[in-house]
Amino acid sequence: MHLTGTPLSLDAKRKSPLCFVSHGHSDHIARHESTIATAATLRFMAHRLGPVREPREVPFNTPFELGALRLELLPAGHILGSAQLRVTRPDGRRIVYTGDLNVAPSLTAEATVVAECDTLVIESTFGHPRYRFPPRAEVLGQVEAWLRMQLERGAVPVLLGYPLGKSQEAMKHLAGRGFSLVAHASIFEVAQLYAELGVPIENLRCYDGRVEPGEVLFFPPHHARGGALAPLWPRATAVLTGWAVDRGASRRYGADVAFALSDHADFPGLVSYAKSTGAREVLTCHGFAEELAQALRDAGMDARPLGGKPQQLGLF
């Protein structure tokens, strides 16, 4: 997406002259000529892509100017450093782009701030009514109970989670509960960055091909297939994903069980957030955009989905 009348793109996947990057996940970053982002996001970008050319580090809740526009970054609660962007036009109209959003409390990400606005552009990854996640504490409790059961029966417990964000949150919780953790290098390296950014994770070491008795192994899903875990036996594997709500989710990931731990807001969370911003107009994007827009219209809001093809938003 590109904001008309400005050089600013939003989470562009291709190199852009100037881009706001909401967070450090690989599907939201690229080697831009100049990047507006939080300090944490810039660190995650550099870790994956190498040095960031012309970084513009912006703290949360610190308005700045871009031509005639007033911009401000607000926490999105998705992963460490994830941000929403609020743009205020000269006439006072406020437009918010959420990026990926999570409204549930997190151990490793800044608490979401409701970005009051007139026009809201909101992600809708889980924008279908069937995606209703149990309370986060309840899910983490289920994960903990499952791990203790596997350890008691002598199996190596393996948790599958993406290297940036979700794994660190689960590890932070489990370390606080006394578990000893070992993580694939891709997850361990990000955990080290979290520590440097003020979110340390204790009781953690890097996986070297062995798992000691009593340890819990964290592994990225895309590395778990192809025999990488074959030497570990007996083992039990669980995947941490919001898609656990769907039938057959564990099988799709090659896991024994799936737990609904997500770093995205679920359907009720998205609807509640949209209402709380006070937006007069809502544009839904990504995922179940049609379904979320319909639900918001049913709730009395002016909402419509953005198309899947690249397009320029007539916001300015």
The model's pTM is 0.94
Give pLDDT tens digits for 130-167.
999 999 999 999 999 999 999 999 999 999 999 999 99
CA-to-CA distance for 115 and 279, rounded, in angstroms?
9
Span 8-130+264-305 CATH architecture: 4-Layer Sandwich (3.60)
Domain boundaries of the chain, sorted by first residue: 8-130+264-305, 136-259
Report pLDDT for 310: 45
Q: 136-259 has which CATH code?
A: 3.40.50.10890
Give pLDDT tens digits for 198-239.
999 999 999 999 999 999 999 999 888 778 898 999 999 999
Give pLDDT tens digits for 239-290.
999 999 999 999 999 999 999 999 999 999 999 999 999 999 999 999 999 9
Identical fold at 8-130+264-305 and 136-259?
no
Report pLDDT for 315: 52
Which residue's structure tokens are 């993406």? Answer: 162
- Compute the average pLDDT of residues 75-80: 98
Q: For the residues of the chain, what is the DSSP string, one character each?
A: -BBTTSSEEES-SS--SEEE-----GGG----SSEEE-HHHHHHHHHHHSSPSSEEE--TT--EEETTEEEEEEE-SSSTT-EEEEEE-TTS-EEEE--S---S--SSSPPP-----SEEEEE-TT-STT--PPPHHHHHHHHHHHHHHHHHTT-EEEEE--TTTHHHHHHHHHHHTT-EEEE-HHHHHHHHHHHHTT----SEEE--S---TTEEEEE-HHHHTTTTTTTS-SEEEEEE-GGGGSTTHHHHTT-SEEE---SS--HHHHHHHHHHTT-SEEEEESSSHHHHHHHHHHTT--EEEPPSS---B---
Report pLDDT for 313: 52
